[in-house]
Amino acid sequence: MMWLQQNGMTIFMILFFLVFALRGPLLARYYRIETLSVHDLSQRLATASPIVLIDVRTPGEFALAHVREARSYPLGGLGRKAEELKKIVRDNDVAVICRTGNRSLMGSVTLKRLGIQKVYNVAGGMVHWEGQGYPVKRG
C-alpha cells in the first residue's frame, strides 16, 4: 500500500498517457476509418469522380498552404456543419486532411458520427503532401 501511495501520481500519468496515445487508433478501428496516403489522394483527386477533400486545420493554417481541391472546415466547427457537409459529400468518398494526420483522424470520426459512410484519414497530412512535392495553393 505504501508503494502505491508513493507512486500513485506516476501510475496515473502513465495510464493517462496510454489512454491519450491509444485514443486515435482505437477510434479509427471502431469507426472503420481507412488511411489514405498522399500519393493515393493525389490519384483520387485526378479521377473523373474525385474524392471530396475536407481540411480540418484552422483558417490561418489553411491560408498558408492547402491542397487546391480542399474545402476548409476547421475541426472545432465540423459538427455544426452537418447538413452543409452532407450536401457536399452526397454519396462520394471523403478524405480528411490536417497538418500531420492527428486532427484529421478526429475529424474523420466526427464525419462518421454524422452518418457519412466512406471516410479516409490522410496519413501524414499536409506535412507529407508538401514533403512529397505535391502542389499547394497559398492564400
Place of cell 480528411: 96
Structural domain tally of the chain? 2
> Looking at residue 19, what is its pLDDT?
58
Tens digit of each residue's pLDDT (9 = 90 or more) over 59-73: 999 999 999 999 999
The residues of the chain scoring below 50 in pLDDT are none
Cβ-in-10-Å burial (0-12, 13-18, 19+) of 33 comes to buried
Establish if 136 belongs to a structural domain. Answer: no
Do 99 and 130 touch, CB atoms closer than 8 A?
Answer: no
Q: Which domain holds residue 60?
A: 32-131
Query: In this predicted model, what pLDDT tens digit does every residue of 98-118 receive, in sequence order?
Result: 999 999 999 999 999 999 989
> CB neighbours of 86 closer than 8 A, spacing ≥ 6?
114, 115, 116
Whether 40 and 2 share a structural domain: no
Q: Looking at the structure, do residues 101 and 37 belong to the same domain, yes or no?
A: yes
Q: Which CATH number goes with the domain that contains 112?
A: 3.40.250.10
CB count within 10 Å of CB 35 equals 14
- DSSP code of residue 70: -
Instruction: Give me the residue label for grid cell 452537418.
Output: 82
**Taking the model in full, what pTM does it have?**
0.83
Q: Report the candidate in 54, 62, 128 with the shortest Cα–Cα distance to residue 85.
A: 54
What is residue 121's DSSP assignment?
A: E
